[in-house]
A = this chain, B = another copy of it.
Amino acid sequence: MTDFARTKALFAIPDGVVYLDGNSLGPPLRGVAARLSRVVEEEWGGDLIRAWNTRGWMAMPAASGDRIARLIGAPAGSVTMGDTLSIKVFQALAAALAMRPDRRVILSDTGNFPTDLYMAQGLIGLKDAGYRLVTVAPENVEAALDDTVAAMMLTEVDYRTGRLHDMARLTRAAHRAGAVAIWDLAHSAGALPVGIAEHDAEFAVGCTYKYLNGGPGAPAFIYVRPDLAAAARPALSGWIGHAAPFAFEPGYRPAPGVERMRVGTPPILALAALDAALDAFDGVDMADVRRRSIELSGAFVAAVARAAPGLELASPRDPAARGSQVSFRHPQAYAVMQALIERGVIGDVRAPDVLRFGFAPLYLDLDDAERGAAILGEILASGAWREPRFSVRAAVT
């Protein structure tokens, strides 16, 4: 049984803050700054160039990859780290298209995060004519799978509503249609058990700065189904994905397994922060995380229904149909959120009218859920959000 009181104590969240935005940026663990100081002063400063050997830097992407593999239900050796989620999406898509050379369609849905669609558009722009991105409503993906589809690319949890795709069913449907399945786990990794290997999907990608708490812009991950790793073609064929990077051969030869998806020199400081953050998941059972997530988000939905009875739920009411996030609609979502933040309840908004609240079981408890809902109710009942200062937008929202 996972001890969530223990995990909560690992995080440094300011007093008085109810942090319901870990679905956008997870908070730091207490040990992160000390770990970074050690890496800078002892490893980099002490060993200088030799640290690549003496401190195991080159193995860090595989080591963190293995820790994340456990959290998404993948075997050790099937996940590696680096770059950003956008780059990893591109790599998975390019490899998928190479696996289905006679097909020309990338199928996605309107609930996907835009960068996934943008990266597909960029890839198509590089290919010869005929490739296209087809985007349908989330509920129509299965019907749109046919023998033109090379790759089905979906984000498991909708970033606006928290709606959870049925990964098992859709992956089976993709495979029946002969398509490759690519899952974006940005809002899943660290929040749900996922079970990527069990569902037999070919590729998965994700970021580590949300529920994995790796820090702003932390390195991304990519999973390649082990039976495919030795054949997957890395379009972004950088030297660190080469079979022998330090042989400095003129021709690219991919590394044997998922390590071929590495591109450039690993970002050691960022990987060290991520590794420190992953300590929070030691001894954590992802099934417990899912149960607790449903308990917390369910308590929040119920408390909001009492405290702010008119507020429209934008997420599925059935907790099994949503991720670890609950959204509501309010025509003045931005001002409401600013008023909430001033009261110490931090969520975020997505235009035009979505209030988002993430429930990360590692550092939130039922008191947080109740308190967040109560303050939301107070702000809506009092109209405090109508103060003009709350509607002045910041640059990044």
Contacts of A50 in B (CB 8 A): 341, 346, 394
Judging by beta carbons under 8 Å apart, are A28 and B44 in contact?
yes
A40 within 8 Å of B (CB atoms) = yes
Q: Which residues from 42 to 86 on chain A have a C-beta closer than 8 Å to any C-beta of chain B?
A: 44-46, 48-53, 57-58, 82-86
Would you call B121 and A251 a contact (CB within 8 A)? yes
List chain B residues, Cβ under 8 A from A233: 125
Chain B residues positioned under 8 Å from A118 (CB to CB): 237-239, 242, 251-252
Of B123, B234, B264, the contact of A220 (CB 8 Å cutoff): B264
Name which residue of chain B comes closest to A241, CB basis: B118
Please tell me if A270 contacts chain B, counting CB pairs below 8 Å.
yes
A329-383 contacts to B, CB under 8 A, are 341, 346, 348, 350-351
Q: Nearest Cβ in chain B — how far from A195, in angstroms?
A: 26
Residues of B close to A44: CB separation below 8 A: 25, 27-28, 215-216
Indicate if the CB atoms of B94 and A87 lie closer than 8 Å.
Answer: no
Other-chain residue from B121, B207, B263 in contact with A84 (beta carbon distance below 8 A): B263
Contact between chains at B121 and A252 (CB < 8 Å): yes
In the bound complex, CA of A230 to CA of B176 (Å): 44
The answer to whether the Cβ of A268 comes within 8 Å of any Cβ in the partner chain is yes
Residues of B within 8 A of A259 (CB): none
Closest residue to A268 on the B side, CB-wise? B216
The 8 closest A-B CB pairs, nearest first, are A84-B264, A86-B238, A122-B237, A128-B128, A115-B239, A216-B268, A217-B267, A86-B264
- Which residues of chain B have C-beta atoms less than 8 A from A48's C-beta? 13-14, 17, 19, 21, 25, 27, 346
CB-CB under 8 A from A51, the residues of chain B are 216
A249–B268 alpha-carbon span in the complex (Å): 33
**Interface flag for A36 (CB, 8 Å):** yes
- Measured CA separation A128–B130 after assembly (Å): 11
Q: Is A119 an interface residue (CB 8 A)?
A: yes
**Contact string against B for A residues 229-267, beta-carbon threshold 8 Å, 1 for contact and 0 otherwise:** 000011111111010001111111000000000011111
User: Which of A114, A216, A263 has the most chain B CB atoms inside 10 A of its CB?
Assistant: A216
Set of chain B residues within 8 Å of A127, measured between Cβ atoms: 126-128
* Contact flag A239-B49 (CB < 8 Å), given A40-B28, A250-B135, A252-B121: no
Is the CB of A117 closer than 8 A to any CB of chain B?
yes
Q: How far is the CB of A287 from chain B (nearest CB, A)?
A: 28
Interface, chain A (partner B; CB < 8 A) = 12-14, 17, 19, 21, 24-25, 27-28, 32-33, 36-37, 40-41, 44-46, 48-53, 57-58, 82-87, 90, 94, 98, 110, 113-115, 117-119, 121-123, 125-128, 135, 207, 209, 215-220, 233-240, 242, 246-252, 263-271, 273, 341, 346, 348, 350-351, 394-397
Question: Of B87, B216, B247, which is within 8 A of A52 by CB?
Answer: B216
A232–B268 alpha-carbon span in the complex (Å): 31
The residue of chain B having its C-beta at the shortest distance from the C-beta of A108 within the complex is B250
Contact present for A269 and B351 (CB under 8 Å): no
For the complex formed, measure the closest distance between the CB of A218 and the CB atoms of chain B, giving whole angstroms. Answer: 7
Our pick among B32, B49, B242, B269 for the contact of A348 (Cβ within 8 Å) is B49
Check B27–A45 contact: CB distance below 8 A. Answer: yes
Which residues of the partner chain B approach A37 to less than 8 Å between Cβ atoms? 33, 36-37
Residue in A118, A235, A249, A341 with the greatest tally of chain B CB atoms within 10 Å: A118
Interface-central residue, A52, A234, A265, by most chain B CB under 10 Å:
A265
Residue contact A122 to B252, C-beta cutoff 8 Å: yes
Asked whether, in the complex, the Cβ of B217 is within 8 Å of the Cβ of A265, the reply is yes
29 interchain pairs (CB within 8 A)? A14-B46, A25-B49, A27-B45, A27-B48, A28-B45, A33-B36, A33-B40, A36-B37, A44-B215, A44-B216, A53-B394, A57-B216, A58-B395, A84-B264, A85-B265, A86-B263, A98-B125, A113-B239, A115-B264, A118-B238, A122-B234, A122-B235, A122-B236, A123-B126, A125-B233, A125-B237, A126-B126, A246-B396, A267-B270
